[in-house]
Amino acid sequence: MVGHWLPSDHSFREKWLATQIHRAESEKKKFHPVITKFQEFIEGDPAVFMLFKEMFQEVHHHKNPCGKPQVKDYHQMLRLLNHIMTHAPPFDDTGLVGFPINAIFDWSMGTTGGHAAFLMDKVNAQLKPILDEWGVFLASKDSASVLNEDPKTGWLGAAALEAMGPDGHPDPRQYFIDTFVCEPDKPHWGFQSWDDFFTRELRPKARPVAAPDDDTVIVSACESAPYAFQENVQRRAQFWIKGQPYSLEHMLAKDEYVDLFVGGTVYQAFLNAKSYHQWHSPVNGTIIKTYNVPGTYYSESLANRHDPEGPNDSQGYITSVAARAVIFIEADNPAIGLMCFLAVGMAEVSTNEITVYEGQHVKKGDKIGTFHFGGSTHCLIFRPETMLEFDLRGQTPGLDATNILIKEKIAAVL
């Protein structure tokens, strides 16, 4: 399961959903105002009402791979969302990490009705306040309860620390302490909230920058695994078809710089759910422009509608439609020139926080932003004049790739 966002063992997901449904139905909790507003929106808009009715009916008609569709209708969906709003996800080594809402929508996303609904601007405008409110809870001290040392479910327990460390490390606990800023002698190791933990800082010497003074070397901007590599990228492409070619005009929201990148190269990589989640500059250079692009949260390509862990198989597609952040950097090395870092939100990972400003000079490895709620996918976009040789550690980009550490070399100018 790419990124380990959802479990590849479908039976586990069925069990997890059954537990959440039981809890949501049992607590009979009053709806949070944003959930009430979402319900009123669904029931008050005839087109949206039709699509939310149809998506769950379609799931039940075709059934999921386990033959056990569980979220019966949008009413139950709302109760589940209301339940999730005040819960931080505990650690789980089967993969249900940080994406409970995605699990609720998973099968409906791949239906015809779901595809149409989750592309609608007005639907995404209603989902954003829900995700924002959940984000407020995850950034509050009330969410820190899952940052405990329970060996199985605590984010600071043995299973989690082993999962967050390199395979086979003899002392995962010490590795975490040596790698990330934390205070193990304090409650929750000094982390103030779940979001504080997931946006944790690296210790100064934990990830050295490859060739900091060599402007021909480009480093990994995120702790991520290579997903795709495409040359001769076009201004417009049918990004929704099988193969999901990159479409620069849509990725960059019709930016004035689009034409400079036509015929160029896109490198895309995805973050593991348990990885470090901040972004760092891949080059020495000057920030030319930054902005956020509003977009979808739960849309997946119909060409990959049978993806049981959607939208993982739609990572190329979502670069054109999902909520994303754009950072243009003018590299000090003229052989690189203007390049672009594109952070793409996936599902709950809807907040792409830019922490640099236009005109700022950054060194290779300097922080430029962060994902909230866990991680996502990102792209580095280069002009056709930039001739690069990539070093992906012998890996073929795809769903089975493994992480390249942040600030490690990924390419060099020829």
Delineate the domains of the chain, giving CATH numbers in brackets: 2-142 (no CATH), 148-190 (no CATH), 217-413 (2.70.70)
Binned at pLDDT 50, 70 and 90, residue 12 comes out as low
* 349 pLDDT tier (thresholds 50, 70, 90): low
Check pLDDT > 50 for residue 49. Answer: yes
What percentage of the chain carries pLDDT values higher than 90?
Answer: 68
Q: In this predicted structure, what is the pLDDT of residue 209?
A: 98
Q: How many residues does this entry show for the chain?
A: 414
Radius of gyration of the chain from its Cα atoms, rounded to whole angstroms? 21
Q: What are the φ and ψ backbone dihedral angles of 113, each rounded to 5 degrees?
A: -65, -40
* Candidate ranges 188-192, 299-303, 394-398; pick with highest mean pLDDT: 188-192
pLDDT in tens, 121-152: 999 999 999 999 999 999 999 999 999 999 99
* Alpha carbon distance, N-terminus to C-terminus of the chain: 35
pLDDT in tens, 76-112: 999 999 999 998 988 877 655 557 888 888 888 888 9
Sheet holding 324-331, edge to edge: 224-230, 265-271, 377-382, 338-344, 324-331, 285-293, 361-362
- Residue 180 to residue 190: CA distance in whole angstroms: 11
pLDDT in tens, 202-246: 999 999 999 999 999 999 999 999 999 999 999 998 887 677 899
Backbone angles phi, psi at 302, to 5 degrees: -65, -25
What confidence tier does 2 reach under pLDDT thresholds 50, 70, 90? very low
What confidence tier does 1 reach under pLDDT thresholds 50, 70, 90? very low
At 176, the pLDDT band (50, 70, 90 cuts) reads: very high
For residues 395 and 194, what is the distance between their CA atoms, to the nearest angstrom? 33
User: What tokens were used for 181?
Assistant: 């800023």
Flag the least confident range among 17-21, 44-48, 191-195: 17-21
Instruction: Compute the distance between CA of residue 271 and CA of residue 227 in angstroms, rounded to an integer.
Output: 10
Starting at the earlier edge strand, list the strands of the sheet with 409-413: 217-219, 409-413, 388-390
Q: Where are the strands (E) in 178-303, listed by range?
A: 217-219, 224-230, 265-271, 278-280, 285-293
Q: How much is the pTM?
A: 0.92
- Is the sign of the CA dihedral 98, 101, 102, 104 positive or negative? positive
* Dist. CA 329–CA 359, nearest whole Å: 10
Query: What Cα–Cα distance (Å) separates residue 410 from each residue in 113, 225, 364, 378?
Result: 40, 11, 13, 14
Asked whether residue 8 carries a pLDDT value surpassing 60, the answer given is no
Confirm if 328 and 286 have CB atoms less than 8 A apart: no
Type and span of the H or E element at 135: helix 121-138
Q: Which tokens in the block code for residue 326? A: 């754009």
String of DSSP letters for 169-198: -S-HHHHHHHHB---TTSGGGG--SHHHHH
Q: Does the structure show a pLDDT above 50 at 408?
A: yes
Q: What's the CA dihedral at 354, 358, 360, 362 to 10 degrees?
A: 50
